[in-house]
Amino acid sequence: MSTPVFALPAPHRAHARGPLTAALVALIAVACTSPASTPTATQTPGSSPSAAPSSSAEPSMTGAIEHKTGATDVVLRVESGGGFVPIDFLATQAPTFTLYGNGVIVFQPRVETFPQPDASGATKGVPWRTATLDESQIQELLEFALGAGGLGAARESYVDDTIADAPNTIFTIHAGGIDKTVTVNALSEAPPAGADAPARAAFFKLASRLQDFDDGGRIPSDVYRPTRFRGVLIEREAQPGVSPLAWPWPSIPFAEFKAGPQDGSGPTTFPHRTLTFEEAAALPLDGIEGGVQGLPLKAANDKIYGLVLRPLLAEETE
C-alpha cells in the first residue's frame, strides 16, 4: 500500500478569523529563512503511539539543530489555556500541536463549526490528526521556530496587563541546546505597541503555522487514534429531558476516579482516571477518538456527573 505524502504548500494563505489566538493565518509554507524546497513527510495511517513508547536521550546528529529522537520526547509544542471557558473545555484542554523526536506530529485541526450536543447531552470532539515529518522538515520547522518564530531569543513570559481574562499561548521547545517554555498572554495579529511588539509578531507567525498545520485540511494526514483517555467526572444537576446513563463499567468502581488537589489548578482537581480505549468504548457512543464532553452518568452514590474524555498523548500518563 502506498504511503500518502504530507507536503507543505508553497504559498502563504490568509484566513478570516476571530481576534484572539483562534484568529490565525495558515502559514504552512517553508520559512523565508529556509532554502526554497518542497519537503515531504510520510504519514502514519491508522496508528498512534503505544501506551508506553520508548524515549531516547540521544540527540539527532543528522541536522544542524540537535534534538532528541524518542517517541515520547517533546521537541516543539504549542497550546492555549486560561481565559473564561466552561469547565468541560478546561478538562479537555490539550496541546494544539506537538512534534516528537521521532518526527511524529499530533495536532488539532482548525474547526470552523464546533460540534453540538447530541440527544444524550454529550458533545463529541473533532478527532485530532497525525503524520510524520522527515528530518529535513524537522530541521526547517525548528529553524523557523527558533529564528523567525522568536523562540530562540524569547524570555519566559509576555503578559499584557491591559487585556483582562485573555487566554495564554504557551510554546515549549527542546532543541538546539534550548529548553524553555514561553507563555504569551493575549496573542493577536495586531500586537500592542511597545518593546515587545516585534517578539509578539514573531510568536503570532509561529502560532499561526502550528495551529493550522494541515492548512485547513488541504494537506493529507490521518486520524490520531488514542490508546488512552483521561476520564474526568464533573458533578452536575439533572437536566430536563436528559436521562443520565447508568454507570457503564461494572469492573471499575466510582472510587477509582480519584480527585486531585483541591486548589482549582486544573481538570485533575475533579475525580479522574486513565481509561484505555477499550474501556472508553464501553460507552454507548461511536466516534470518540476526538474525546467527549458532558456525557451525563449516574454513579453508585446516586449523584449525576458529566463525563469528559480527553485523548492522551504519547508521553502523558494521566
* Residue 174 DSSP SS3: strand
On the question of pLDDT at 221 being above 70, the answer is yes
Instruction: Check residues 66 and 241 and name the one with the higher pLDDT.
Output: 66
What pLDDT is stored for residue 30 in this prediction?
A: 31
**DSSP secondary structure letters along 57-98:** -PBP-SSSS--B--TT-EEEEEEEE-SS--HHHHHT---SEE
**Average pLDDT of the segment spanning 270-290:** 94
What pLDDT is stored for residue 159 in this prediction?
A: 87
Closest CA to 46 of 143, 132, 112: 132
Residues 248 and 110: their CA atoms lie apart, in Å, by 32
Closest CA to 27 of 155, 175, 140: 140
Within the chain, how many helices (H) and strands (E) appear?
A: 4, 14
Instruction: Check residues 38 and 218 and name the one with the higher pLDDT.
Output: 218
Q: Quote the mean pLDDT of the chain.
A: 80
**Range of lowest pLDDT (24-38, 69-83, 128-142, 206-220):** 24-38
First and final C-alpha spacing in the chain: 35
Residues 217 and 24: their CA atoms lie apart, in Å, by 15
Whether the CB-CB separation of 133 and 99 falls below 8 Å is answered with: yes
Instruction: Check residues 34 and 121 and name the one with the higher pLDDT.
Output: 121
On the question of pLDDT at 89 being above 60, the answer is yes
CA atoms within 13 A on the CB side of 253: 3
Residues 166 and 177: their CA atoms lie apart, in Å, by 31
